[in-house]
Amino acid sequence: MAIRPTPGRSLVTRRALIDIVHAATLGSYGVTGFAGGRIGRLLDRLGVAHPGIEIRHDDGLVVELDLTVALGVPVAEVARQVDSAVRYAVHRALGREVTRLVIHVDGLHVPPGGALPSAPASLPMRVRSRDLADSGTDVA
């Protein structure tokens, strides 16, 4: 016996969409948190605001993220991981595509004790102006 789908529509709250993006972002390689400072973290815990995540419905779904990244990881690779994870999570949960995803890296997270890792010899010492643009991810 086949079950016919019932026509209708479903609504997803802004909070649910933020939770999907939040979980996908924090589960990505190299992400240590969202930017926003102490006041932003307090507002997030109270459920009043979500610093570091902005979602708009202009001409499609636009997501803007302000992140902090672990010191010593390639920022472009972190951005690619976040891009892929957020787009997949939103598509899987809602069946919608993210039209535009902008990722701002607002800081680096230094581990407790302030020990800075030494740079591996195989990494280039200079970052060219086109390196991030050529990576294919919208990183600001």
DSSP 57-100: ESSSEEEEEEEEEETTS-HHHHHHHHHHHHHHHHHHHHS--EEE
51 within a domain of the structure (yes/no): yes
pLDDT at 137: 54
- Number of domain units in the chain: 1
Look up the CATH number of the domain holding residue 100: 3.30.70.1350
Q: Which domain holds residue 31?
A: 14-110+127-134
Domain membership of residue 6 (yes or no) is: no
pLDDT of the residue at 129 = 53
Residue range 67-111, pLDDT digits in tens: 999 988 899 999 999 999 999 999 999 999 999 999 999 888 887
Predicted TM-score of the model (pTM) = 0.70
Q: How far apart are CA 25 and CA 7, in angstroms?
A: 33
pLDDT at residue 35, as a whole number = 84
Please give the pLDDT value at position 140: 54
pLDDT score of 46 more than 60: yes
